[in-house]
A and B are shown apart, each in its own frame.
Chain A
Amino acid sequence: MAKLRRSRRPRTTLLILLLASITIITLDARGGFGRITSGVRSVAADTFAPIRSGVNDIIEPMGSFLAGSVHYGAVRQQNQKLQQQIRQLQQQRAQSVQTEQSLQQLSAVLHLPYVGNLQTVPAEVIDYKSSNFAATIDISVGRDDGVQYNMPVVAAGGLVGRVVQANHHTATVRLISDGASLVDVLYGTPGAYAAVTGEGSGKPLSADLIPINTPLTVGELFVTSGLNGAIFPPNIPVARVTSSKTGVSATEESVTLQPLADLTNLRYVSVVLWDPASP
């Protein structure tokens, strides 16, 4: 009997934990619990940001030191010094190039022609996707800077994505390349509506709702439509056409697009303080 009780206990534990998990998932998906989970995630992100930053500050110099030790281990002492000097100079040069690039990106982010009079908050990209299953970035501004859920994020070139999690000092942005991303767009003259969807990190975008045999040229620009109540304000450049074809028995044109913002090399972005309710 005792043996039977022992063998049943893990199954009971499993059942309880699975039910708890399903309850959490369901409540989160239905929205009612969403505020709580969003709050929990916000607190976790705010708590974790300084830890992550501190650990990175410790680990990066150690990594550089170890890499240096391995690299120079077999070389004579004099050569070591000379090579170290060369390395330092190269690092300085690389850093200055990097700094220049960062400055260019930051400068571009601060002077975005297409946002017009809309207020923006510049931000640094502090982390790329934290999950292998979502194309997201973390940025260095949050609710304390006026950033709210669903606000659009732009960079030099065009649209980057939208805020899906706003914490106190940081925010998570879902990139337009993410499979769950959908952007209402306009293309052509006088302007037809379509929807641009992501296909995953590093992959081209695709466009839906484009009728078959629509004459599209490579390089044609797609901009946000800004439809009434839209998440994105109008006329933000999104992507350019890279290919277009009509499949056999297709009901829509098959269109692939290249995002205008370089989503794989983002250092600085701007959050547009846009409220769809009062455009």
Chain B
Amino acid sequence: MTARDASRVSLVVLAFIVVQQTLMLDIRIGGVHPDIMVLLPMAAGLVGGPGRGATMGFGSGLVADCLLPTPFGLSAFIGTLIGFGVGLATVALDRSSWWLPTMAALVGSVLYEVFYALLGSILGQPQMLHVGVARTALLVAVCNAVLAVPAVRMVGWALPKVSTEGMPTSTAGSLR
């Protein structure tokens, strides 16, 4: 990854965290606010494959953890798994499909929120399971599904344009 690529990725992560911490925190649907940071590892997994999904999940998760009151490292851990998982699950699929980012965001967000709450409760924060996990997961997933396509475009612009693991360059490029 060149300095230019790194600065692009940093810019996208910064844009996401700024939007999350300003616009998204003010949007309340049934007491739940959207969580667009979840989109980053999923988009990276879709665009760049499992390795880049995991790396983006770890990096963006650590950034998010700096501004969250939940255990430090939790977002990084779940983000790593989700980024890798989305990359792996979609490796054999046609990535030019219009529905793929939306579907990946929908399923990935639900898994992210549920695992986040479960692991948080295991790590000594039992209240994380008492906040309406199903409602939170559903609302975050729907919001992320709506925003999935622009998120994938942004991440596609930021990630270095090299062939991705497990899939041909031509297919990977279709999402950029």
Q: B-contacting residues of A (Cβ < 8 Å)?
A: 6-7, 9-11, 13-14, 17-18, 20-25, 28-29, 37, 40-41, 44-45, 48, 51-52, 55-56, 59, 127-134, 136, 164-165, 172, 174, 178-180, 198-202
Chain B residues closer than 8 Å to A172, beta-carbon distance: 69
Chain B residues closer than 8 Å to A51, beta-carbon distance: 18, 21
Q: Does B23 lie within 8 Å of A133, measured CB to CB?
A: no
Q: Does A25 lie within 8 Å of B50, measured CB to CB?
A: no
Q: Does B127 lie within 8 Å of A198, measured CB to CB?
A: yes
A132–B28 Cα gap in the complex (Å)? Answer: 10
Interchain residue pairs with CB less than 8 A apart (9)? A9-B51, A14-B84, A18-B81, A21-B76, A44-B67, A48-B21, A133-B70, A133-B117, A133-B127
A200–B131 Cα gap in the complex (Å)? Answer: 6
A232–B79 Cα gap in the complex (Å)? Answer: 37
Q: Does B77 contact A (CB under 8 A)?
A: yes
What does DSSP make chain A's interface, helix, strand, loop or mixed? Answer: helix
Q: Does A59 lie within 8 Å of B127, measured CB to CB?
A: no
Chain B residues closer than 8 Å to A23, beta-carbon distance: 73
A137–B166 Cα gap in the complex (Å)? Answer: 44
Q: Does B74 lie within 8 Å of A132, measured CB to CB?
A: no
Q: Does A133 lie within 8 Å of B18, measured CB to CB?
A: no
Chain B residues closer than 8 Å to A127, beta-carbon distance: 25
Chain A residues closer than 8 Å to B71, beta-carbon distance: 25, 28-29
Q: Does B67 lie within 8 Å of A20, measured CB to CB?
A: no
Min CB distance, A11 to chain B, in Å?
8
A199–B128 Cα gap in the complex (Å)? Answer: 10
Q: Does B120 lie within 8 Å of A133, measured CB to CB?
A: yes
Min CB distance, B58 to chain A, in Å?
4
CB closest chain-B residue, reference A174: B69
CB closest chain-B residue, reference A177: B127
Residue in B58, B73, B113, B116 with the greatest tally of chain A CB atoms within 10 Å: B73
CB closest chain-A residue, reference B165: A10
Q: Does B126 lie within 8 Å of A132, measured CB to CB?
A: no
Q: Does B42 contact A (CB under 8 A)?
A: no
Min CB distance, A182 to chain B, in Å?
11
Q: Does B161 contact A (CB under 8 A)?
A: no
Q: Does B174 contact A (CB under 8 A)?
A: no
Chain B residues closer than 8 Å to A18, beta-carbon distance: 77, 80-81
Given contacts A13-B54, A132-B33, A133-B70, could you give 14 more A-B pairs where the C-beta distance is less than 8 Å? A13-B51, A14-B80, A17-B58, A25-B74, A45-B66, A52-B22, A55-B22, A130-B69, A132-B113, A134-B68, A174-B69, A178-B127, A179-B126, A200-B127
Instruction: Point out the residue from B18, B51, B130 that lies within 8 Å of A55, measured CB to CB.
Output: B18
A55–B124 Cα gap in the complex (Å)? Answer: 35
Chain B residues closer than 8 Å to A130, beta-carbon distance: 21, 25, 67-69
- Given the known A-B contacts A10-B84, A134-B127, A165-B69, are A59 and B23 also in contact in the complex, defined by CB atoms under 8 Å? yes
Q: Does A128 lie within 8 Å of B55, measured CB to CB?
A: no
Q: Does A201 lie within 8 Å of B23, measured CB to CB?
A: no
- Given the known A-B contacts A14-B80, A133-B120, A201-B31, are A164 and B58 also in contact in the complex, defined by CB atoms under 8 Å? no
What are the 4 tightest A-B residue pairs by CB atom distance, in nearest-first order?
Answer: A179-B127, A24-B73, A10-B51, A44-B66
Q: Does A7 lie within 8 Å of B166, measured CB to CB?
A: yes
Q: Does A132 lie within 8 Å of B18, measured CB to CB?
A: no
A136–B131 Cα gap in the complex (Å)? Answer: 13
Proximity bits, B38-82, A CB within 8 Å = 1, else 0: 000000000001110011011001100011111111101100110
Q: Does A10 lie within 8 Å of B54, measured CB to CB?
A: yes
A68–B35 Cα gap in the complex (Å)? Answer: 27
A239–B120 Cα gap in the complex (Å)? Answer: 28
Instruction: Point out the residue from A7, A11, A133 that lies within 8 Å of B128, measured CB to CB.
Output: A133
Q: Does B87 contact A (CB under 8 A)?
A: yes
- Given the known A-B contacts A41-B66, A133-B70, are A9 and B80 also in contact in the complex, defined by CB atoms under 8 Å? no
CB closest chain-A residue, reference B84: A14
A105–B132 Cα gap in the complex (Å)? Answer: 31
Min CB distance, B97 to chain A, in Å?
22
Instruction: Point out the residue from B23, B51, B80, B113 that lies within 8 Å of A21, measured CB to CB.
Output: B80
Q: Does B6 contact A (CB under 8 A)?
A: no
- Given the known A-B contacts A48-B67, A55-B18, are A25 and B77 also in contact in the complex, defined by CB atoms under 8 Å? yes
